[in-house]
Amino acid sequence: MKKLFYFLLFILVSILTFILVSGKISDDRLQAYVHSPTVLKNKTTKAPPNITEVYVLGTMHTESPNILKDSLYLILEKIQADVILVEIDSVKFPRTYSIKNSNHPTKLRYLFRNQNEVERPTALKYLHHNPNTKMHPYEWIERDAFHQKHQIQSKPSEVLQHIKALEAADSLQEKHRKILAQYLNDSKELNKIANQTLSVINTTKTDSICEQRQIGRYQKIKQIVDETPALNTYKSFVAINKNYWDIRNKAMANNIKHYIQKYPKKRIVVLNGFFHRYYLIKELQQKEKQLNYQVMPIPF
């Protein structure tokens, strides 16, 4: 019994040591990135805009061969962002964060939870080199609680697998087969696009594919469930899931508009997972004249 106790104690100490050492190495790497040189050479400072400029910049949340932190950083430098909005809620966003104490390990570890993360590390580097720039969160504050309560991150896959099983058993209506085929094709196409550059991700063509795919995910899949008795057990979930996508994106857009009003005649960059881009642009374009701003094309 004593041997087992010491063995478990050894395992525990080893794990804690690994975590501490890994955290220190991680912090050192992050410090090096934040303090690394800027990307754009021979930069000319732009004059302040006459109207608030809003750049909805779609990206990947983690690095890929064609999208690195500095790929995003270069665009921030070209825009010369005054305000950067990140896809995180106000509870998670470190309220006491200040670029003046960006070497605080706890803050860095929070902001850089994933070494391959793209948006927030890039934003922090930009703030380091441009200390007058502001950074704010704009995610729907209830997102995580909603995810947990309704199994938003796991349940859709379960529903889809059941639909595929019915198709394999030749138990789907023909119109539902077509819906499923279109959804799977759009998802496959977007997986290919996700491995491309930011200039490919931020196009109206990609926005259109994203919109069609998300309509499939949140509306057309619901139609299949509603019209297929074998899927009755999922009816309440798909109804919730359909509303979720609208509620979340509208809340994000409203938070963005709050900062647009707070920072008139500034250049505001909205960093987002690119599946959101089409929705956010549509929501923001509705209020351009009323709030005196313009949704701008991304400079590449």
**Mean pLDDT of all residues in 1-25:** 56
182-241 pLDDT, tens digit each: 999 999 999 999 999 999 999 999 999 999 999 999 999 999 999 999 999 999 999 999
Distances (CA, A) of 183 to 43, 57, 106, 210, 261: 43, 24, 42, 10, 38
Percent of the chain past pLDDT 70, that is, above it, reads: 83
The two tokens of residue 224 are 């299949």
The answer to whether residue 12 scores a pLDDT higher than 80 is no
| SS3 assignment, position 30 | helix
144-192 pLDDT, tens digit each: 999 999 999 999 999 999 999 999 999 999 999 999 999 999 999 999 9
Cα gap 280→59, rounded to integer Å: 14
Average pLDDT over the chain reads 87
The answer to whether residue 26 scores a pLDDT higher than 60 is no
pLDDT at 16: 56
Within the chain, residue ranges assigned H as helices are: 2-34, 69-79, 105-111, 119-129, 143-150, 155-168, 174-193, 198-201, 204-215, 221-226, 235-262, 277-285, 288-291
DSSP per residue, 178-190: HHHHHHHHHHHHH
Percent of the chain past pLDDT 90, that is, above it, reads: 71
pLDDT at 90: 86
pLDDT at 117: 84
Smallest Cα–Cα separation from 83: which of 45, 138, 43?
138
Q: Where are the domains of the chain?
A: 35-300
The answer to whether residue 285 scores a pLDDT higher than 90 is yes
Distances (CA, A) of 211 to 17, 219, 225, 287: 46, 11, 20, 20
Q: What is the pTM of this model?
A: 0.86
Q: Please, which pLDDT band fits residue 37 given cuts at 50, 70 and 90? A: confident
- Hey, what's the torsion of the CAs at 251, 214, 204, 62, to 10 degrees? 80
The answer to whether residue 111 scores a pLDDT higher than 50 is no
Minimum mean pLDDT range among 56-65, 103-112, 131-140, 191-200: 103-112
The answer to whether residue 1 scores a pLDDT higher than 90 is no
3-state secondary structure 67-130: ECHHHHHHHHHHHCCCEEEECCCCCCCCCCCCHHHCCCHHHHHHHCCCCCECHHHHHHHHHHHC
The answer to whether residue 270 scores a pLDDT higher than 70 is yes
